[in-house]
Structure 1
Amino acid sequence: MSRRFGPTEVEPAAPLWWGGIGLRILTLLFALGAALVHARDYQRPGLAWTVLGGMALWTLSTSLVYAREALRWRLSWFTVLDLVITCGLMLTSPWILTPAQLSGIDPLITTVWVAGVPVAVGTRFGGFGGVLAGAVVGAATALARQAFTLDVARDGVLLMATGLLIGMSATTARKSAAALARAWRTEVANAERERLARSIHDSVLQVLARVRRRGAELGGEAAELAELAGEQEIALRALVTTEPTGPTTGEADLRAALQLLASSRVQVAAPAGEVRLPAQVTSELVAVVREALTNVDKHAGPEAKAWVLLEDLSAEVVITVRDDGRGIPEGRLADAESKGHLGVARSMRGRVTDLGGTIALDTAPGRGTEWELRVPKPGRGR
């Protein structure tokens, strides 16, 4: 089972995996050349060639696994095993090299072949994993040398830096691919919505607009039908001109969700761009606004109109719901709550409080009602 990264199932960091495979092969050839040069000086030449054979087999095994995307994601433990086996092969150096070779400048039996491990771990687990793998290989180098020298420290720093850079590159590539995939899905959705909007405008919306105009001219019961047709026309226009509200990566567009609440009596004003919040936060805020609009419909009077204003500030979002209805008499909400009507207390105030926000009411008989909701953005302080 492959992992989907965007419009295709290609791993964005695939070039890094292939680069790691190429690095293993090149460094293996270097290790073979170094062994040919120093073989006569080894205290156990047979063990040296055995270890080199193991390095060749392990290079083949890692190449086969890392070349296949499904395996490299399914077998995450294989990358850790790669680190363990590579360090184990390097730790055979004290039994192969002479004490003079270990204390001198002669390379260990694995030489630079071990550099492939931080590359693989960093590609799989990111920058932190790459640094950790480099530190482990550096520590194993010190154990194999049986001393911690300036050269050993330098090699460790280079290994950690390699793992860090490769890991950051892999993480950046995957994040960029995910962002591109979201943009691609949005573009496809926009194109489809525009196609549907053109089709609906040429048929359904024109019919609804004609029914609304003709019904208003006839009056009587036809006027009621005209009003209903007008509301459906507004709702349909909002539907075909608003961005999809379904969550993609756990987020949803609050602006789009609120625009769907527009009707002949409700106007929605929002920023030009998206206001993306976690899908659960968006759902709760839309529920609060819908409850406020329901109260307008029930209590503000048949001619009352409502306005919804969305503001996207740096650390919070502010939603204002205002109507020009009758207003709420003083003590009305407390009386309703005492009688068990908990729409405002539980549905509105409770939801906003659970989100870490505040809700304020400004009303008086004869001058309408205004609700102001302030909710901090996730990860930002109040």
Structure 2
Amino acid sequence: MNRRFGPTAREPAAPLWWGSIGLRLLTMLFAVGAVLLYHDQYRRPRLAWLVLGVMVVWTVLTTLVYSREALRWRWWWFVVADVAVTCGLMLTSPWILNRTQLTGADPLITTVWVTGVPAAAGTRFGAGGGALAGVLVGAATAITRQQFNVDVARDSFLLIATGLLIGISASTARKSAAVLAEALRTEAATAERERLARSIHDSVLQVLARVRRRGAELGGEAAELAALAGEQEIALRALVTSEPTSTSTGWTDLRAALQLLSSSKVQVATPAGEVRLPAHTTAELVAVAREALSNVDKHAGDSAKAWVLLEDLGDEVVLTVRDDGPGIDEGRLAAAEAAGHLGVARSMRGRVADLGGTISLETAPGQGTEWEVRVPKPERRAR
């Protein structure tokens, strides 16, 4: 059950809860009228009034529970008990009604009051729970009538349909509320990021740009400091221009996360739209890219450049890291692994294997290195 709205937040399906309460109150009045109309024909009128009193008490109790604002107070076990109590009260009908009433068209002691149960179960558990409650109440009706005719089948179908439709409506309401809440959080985070970006642009970025230009003019050690300032300027610009990568639903934007790797020596090319993946998958792929870029920095030389390419193919994502360095000699990776250097074996290949993907290497002396990672995209389902 979705609990992303907090323990005290308003339940998105609250109108359906109130609808089930109203339905139960109206059907309770109908049940009272039915007892008043048929009590002279009952085998045990006193038992009929006793059962009716229990129905009134249970209606008041369910109203108090189902009218609470937070979903956590509408206990799942109480809804299950609601189904059990309703079916139990219905099964007292053979001791109250005479044989003609029981097998004929006269209403059972609970009459249409039982329709409140599939409505409540559907609101609490969704379409499946509502339909199951309808099946149980329909089965109790058949047992009470001691037959399964067209009338019983019709009533059972209506009970199942009621629980099913209300359950679908409740699930849709909760999913819509979750999507809206996530959109509002993203909008707030984007607005705050834009505000920070304006502030950083007017202060830090301008200072870094001035240091880079002035250091390049002075040369020598100042030029080295200028190069470092330039790299930080690029990284900071990528940070403030990228969108937030994390969400409350555990899904993140891999495109935004990879853009933070951009520098004077690394160019990042990504799709125009978001590439949403589980947060763990995004973190692992970024770690693979960082390890590949770290190897470029260690082994390809100061003048080497690298390119990071992300492709979204629908059912999988392809991450490519390429550089124009001297390449990797044949057998070098195996020798490094045998010597205990597990950067490629564990940090790259191990991570990709855990994600259920594949990683391939294309390299040759003097022709650079290219890593290609393919990872399947899990289907994104709402909880």
| Same fold flag (TM > 0.5) | yes
The alignment status of 1:273 with 2:289, answered yes or no, reads: no
Inter-partner Cα distance in structure 1 for 2:274 and 2:106: 61
Aligned residue number for residue 49 of structure 1: 49
Question: Residue 326 of structure 1 aligns to a residue in which SS?
Answer: coil
Task: Give 1:70 deviation, angstroms.
Answer: 3.5
Alignment of 1:214-363 (within 5 A): 214-363=214-363
**Alpha-carbon distance in 2 for matches of 1:305, 1:102:** 87
Aligned to 1:188: 188
Q: CA separation in 2, counterparts of 1:207 and 1:126?
A: 57
Distance in 1 between the 2:107 and 2:173 partners?
Answer: 35
One-letter amino acid matched to 2:208 = L
3-state SS, counterpart of residue 48 of structure 1: helix
- 1:137 maps to which residue? 137
Q: Which amino acid aligns with 2:312?
A: D
Verify the 8 A CA contact 1:362 1:369 in the aligned structure 2.
Answer: yes
Most deviating of 201-210 and 242-251: 242-251
Alignment RMSD (CA, Å): 1.6
Matched residue SS, 1:58:
helix
Question: In 1, distance between residues paired with 2:194 and 2:162?
Answer: 48
In structure 2, C-alpha distance between the alignment counterparts of 1:64 and 1:78, rounded to whole Å = 12
Distance 2:293 2:287 in 1: 10
Shift of 1:272: 1.7
Cα distance in 2 for residues equivalent to 1:9 and 1:272: 36
Give the CA deviation at 1:130.
0.6
Residue in 2 aligned with 1:374? Answer: 374
SS of residue matched to 1:378: coil
User: Which residue number in structure 2 is paired with residue 67 of structure 1?
Assistant: 67
Instruction: Determine helix, strand or coil for the equivalent of 1:203.
Output: helix
Where do 4+ consecutive residues of structure 1 move more than 6 Å?
Answer: none
Maintained 8 Å contact 1:212/1:229: yes
Counterparts of 1:24-39 in structure 2, within 5 Å, are 24-39=24-39
Superposed CA deviations along residues 227-251 of structure 1, whole A, max 9, x for unmatched, are 1111111111111111222342122
Q: Secondary structure at the match of 2:70?
A: helix
Matched residue type, 2:321: V
Larger deviation: 282-291 or 19-28?
282-291
TM-score by structure 1 length? 0.96
For residue 4 of structure 1, report the CA deviation from its aligned partner: 4.9
Tell me: CA distance 1:315–1:3, structure 2 relative to 1, closer, same or farther (3 Å).
Answer: closer
CA contact (8 A) 1:4 1:10 kept: no
Q: Is the 8 A contact 1:267 1:306 kept in 2?
A: yes
Between 267-276 and 208-217, report the one with greater CA deviation.
267-276
Alignment-derived partner of residue 103 in structure 1: 103
Classify the secondary structure of the residue corresponding to 1:321.
Answer: strand
Q: What is the alpha-carbon distance in structure 1 between the residues aligned to residue 369 and residue 298 of structure 2?
A: 13
TM-score (norm 2): 0.95
Unpaired segments ≥5 residues, structure 1: none
* Identical counterparts, % of pairs: 76
Q: How far does residue 140 in structure 1 lie from its aligned partner after superposition?
A: 0.6
SS in 2 for 1:5: coil
- Contiguous gaps of at least 5 residues in structure 2: none
> Secondary structure at 2:301's aligned position in 1?
coil
Provide closer, same or farther for how the CA distance between residues 257 and 130 of structure 1 changes in structure 2, counting only shifts above 3 A.
Answer: same
Structure 2: distance between partners of 1:361 and 1:318? 13
* 1:86-97 → structure 2 map (5 Å cutoff): 86-97=86-97
